[in-house]
Amino acid sequence: MELKRVVVTGLGALTPVGNTVPEFWNNLLNGVSGAGPITHFDASKFKTQFACEVKNFNAADHIDRKEARKMDLYTQYAVVAAKEAVTDAGIDVEKEDLNKVGVILGVGIGGIHTFEEEVAGYEKTKDDLGPKFNPFFIPKMIADIASGQISIMYGFHGPNFTTTSACASSSNAIADAFNYIRLGKANIIVTGGAEAAIFPAGVGGFNAMHALSTRNDDPAHASRPFSASRDGFVMGEGAGCLILEELEHAKARGAKIYAELAGTGASGDAYHLTASHPEGLGAKLVMQSALEDAGMKPEDIDYINVHGTSTPVGDVSEVKAIKDLFGEHAYKLNISSTKSMTGHLLGATGGVEAIACVLSVKNDIVPPTINHEEGDNDENIDYNLNFTFNKAQQRTVRAALSNTFGFGGHNACVIIKKYTE
């Protein structure tokens, strides 16, 4: 069976550095940090009091008020990003076979804010006449509901589900969407991911693990991947959605084509609940798997958007994996961590960073890794590699690889390349 080619025809983003794709991309290229004091709740007693929040967001500007009340914040983010992507792709629901249009999203945690609110409400009422729960508690909270809401909104009857693999969730969703299309099971799929966990349980839970930066006096410079002074990741939130489409279908309807999705990979560290393998074995395997899937060689890649969360162990192991797999070509790559600007969007990471890769390939420019200071070098990291520190770099980007790794040892990778006939 000949596999079909899959292209990207639409993008939608709602992020800590921009509420639309153009705003997101412009701020990435200009090295803008999305970090600041937490506003979603009073974090004054928490070890970490800052995060990368979505700013100036009002669901009522995008979603009917009655419907928005039925959605957790993460679902609202997903719906808004999906709407931008569908509009960008020029999808006409009146002309499409909606049985062949699907929604596959990635979510790491889901409706944690709704869960917190409902449990707190229960604690206040349980001694009265009985527990009082909102009838929308479960539909708002569950991790699959964002993809369900998007399919209902547009009447998309194709494949519809959610993948959950911690911080690799969105990339796994993109891989699933890719495979459904290239196997001929769908023409178009809305994919990517969403997350909104900057609430007491999310911040408190990660603080208890000592996973978050505590640089409360300087949030904008807290996410500093590959620097010796890094002290943990910065939580982010938002959504990133891509429209994947079968090539001939896209050409037939005259769609604009951003880039081609060339291949994907998945692997497991089989090592530790939260730490990556210190030698980067799973990271190397997942990149190798994606290259094989794409029929590409290491030297075909020009840019790697790394997982690069700004944690002491994770950054080192990923660099080891890159050097081990790419050999001498590693020194010809541009490497950057856009998490230095957006923070770590958990389950939404893969969607947002895939968009960055698509735009890098399309525009031949690599966004930077910000916040690295001269001399702040880790003896375990090879600075002869080009980490694209502090300033975007113009170069030909034939293909870009996006890494995402999650708790539990989940690794996922996608490769985006220039579209050619």
Going from the C-alpha of 11 to that of each of 81, 117, 398, the distances in angstroms are 8, 32, 19
Compute the distance between CA of residue 28 and CA of residue 13 in angstroms, rounded to an integer: 12
Active-site residue, 307 included: yes
C-beta neighbour count of 79 within 10 angstroms: 25
C-beta neighbour count of 317 within 10 angstroms: 25
* Burial (CB count <10 Å: 0-12, 13-18, 19+), residue 224: buried
Instruction: Point out the catalytic residue in the list 40, 221, 344, 372.
Output: 344
Compute the distance between CA of residue 97 and CA of residue 100 in angstroms, rounded to an integer: 6
Nearest alpha-carbon partner for 392 in 340, 351, 348: 340
Residues 6+ apart with CB under 8 A from 224: 230, 310, 340, 370, 371, 372, 376
Residues 6+ apart with CB under 8 A from 282: 267, 268, 269, 270, 271, 276, 405, 409, 411
Active-site residue, 344 included: yes
Compute the distance between CA of residue 301 and CA of residue 319 in angstroms, rounded to an integer: 16
Compute the distance between CA of residue 309 and CA of residue 120 in angstroms, rounded to an integer: 32
Q: Quote the tokens at residue 279.
A: 């030698």
DSSP letter for 348, please. G
Measure CA 182 to chain center: 22
Compute the distance between CA of residue 361 and CA of residue 54 in angstroms, rounded to an integer: 26
Contact indicator for 322, 142 with CB cutoff of 8 Å: no
Compute the distance between CA of residue 239 and CA of residue 19 in angstroms, rounded to an integer: 9
DSSP letter for 246, please. E
Rounded to 5°, the CA angle 8-12-15 comes to: 130
Active-site residue, 277 included: no
Instruction: Point out the catalytic residue in the list 40, 52, 113, 167.
Output: 167
Instruction: Point out the catalytic residue in the list 113, 221, 249, 307.
Output: 307
- What residues are labeled active site? 167, 307, 344
